[in-house]
Amino acid sequence: MRIRRHIPPIAAWSLSEAMRRRLKQWGLAALGALVAGYLTAYLVIFPAPILPGHETVPRVLGMAEPEAQTVLGEVSLKVHNGGTEPHPTAPQGTVIWQDPPPGVIAPENTEVTLVVSAGPPKIPVPDVAGLDGPLAERLIAAAGLTVSQVDSLQAPLPRGVVMLTRPAAGSLLAPGGGVTVVVSRGAPTITVPNLLGMTQSDARTRLEIEGLSLGAATRQRTADAPPGTVVAQRPAAGTLAAAGTVVDIVVARSPQ
């Protein structure tokens, strides 16, 4: 047995004015939500140009400059050289800034300005002239550089005082760059004694008495002097030298 129900046509339905307004508001809200969702997906989740002849600017930050130029060229964008800037961590030659930024929709052939890393900031060599050698070395290390070598020269300054650095103070070096420190050996006020004819042991003792040091002792065959005696020296006898100057000698050995 079937029961037939009579449902009046929609046109015959009777809705109050308040219900009509409410249905209209719901419809507008649903339409707005649909449009917002579409635009969110279109522009944010899956961004794509809206107008023909426009491209999405790709992200090239962190890329090597040649790679970034290739990526931008593939989407019909041009590259404008924005120069270089020091960067504490980015390797030299990598892109550290771009304008327009990634994700922007831009017309084809738009210029994208790229700034490339010049590597870590350069460090100036500190001015340590006139300071004691060990203190100067500590200051150079504290600046982020290294003392690669210590040289000495005779000069009218106290022994061990820094005269200059190579490269000179104020020169810019990469972090960890090497600096040569030149210190004074003191003023040349000691007369180098005559060591010729002395034994090597006596020559050492005489030099130490004068405040000098014995350096290399090479041997040479000769029949002009007794074996074991000094036959030559450098610096020569009578030369003025600073305290601690090293004197090299040549010692005679048997001609046989």
Based on the fold, state whether residues 102 and 65 are members of the same structural domain: yes
User: Over 70: is that where the pLDDT of 50 sits?
Assistant: no
Q: What is the dihedral of CA 24, 28, 34, 38, to 10 degrees?
A: 160
- Return the sign of the alpha-carbon dihedral for residues 125, 90, 55, 43: negative
Give the SS3 label for residue 80.
Answer: strand
Based on the fold, state whether residues 104 and 67 are members of the same structural domain: yes
Whole-prediction pTM: 0.51
Residue 23 domain-assigned (yes or no): yes
Give the SS3 label for residue 34.
Answer: helix
Task: Please give the share of the chain, as a percent, with pLDDT higher than 90.
Answer: 65
Residue found under tokens 């005696």: 229
Last residue of a domain, one of 92, 117, 142: 117
Residue 161 belongs to what domain range? 123-184
| Helix (H) or strand (E) segment spanning residue 233 | strand 230-234
Based on the fold, state whether residues 180 and 194 are members of the same structural domain: no
Q: Give the integer Cα–Cα distance in Å for 149 and 165.
A: 10
Give the SS3 label for residue 220.
Answer: strand
Cis peptide before 100 (omega within 30 of 0): yes
Based on the fold, state whether residues 81 and 135 are members of the same structural domain: no
Based on the fold, state whether residues 78 and 111 are members of the same structural domain: yes
Residue found under tokens 């738009």: 110
What's the pLDDT tens digit per position in 90-131?
999 999 999 999 999 999 999 999 999 998 899 999 999 999
Nearest to residue 113, comparing CAs of 83, 140, 138? Answer: 83
Residue 10 domain-assigned (yes or no): no
Residue 226 domain-assigned (yes or no): yes
Distance of CA 255 to the CA centre of its chain: 60
**Residue 178's CATH number:** 3.30.10.20
Last residue of a domain, one of 169, 184, 199: 184
Based on the fold, state whether residues 234 and 194 are members of the same structural domain: yes
Residue 4 domain-assigned (yes or no): no
Task: Please give the share of the chain, as a percent, with pLDDT higher than 70.
Answer: 85
Residue 94 domain-assigned (yes or no): yes
Residue 9 domain-assigned (yes or no): no
Q: Give the integer Cα–Cα distance in Å for 121 and 85.
A: 9
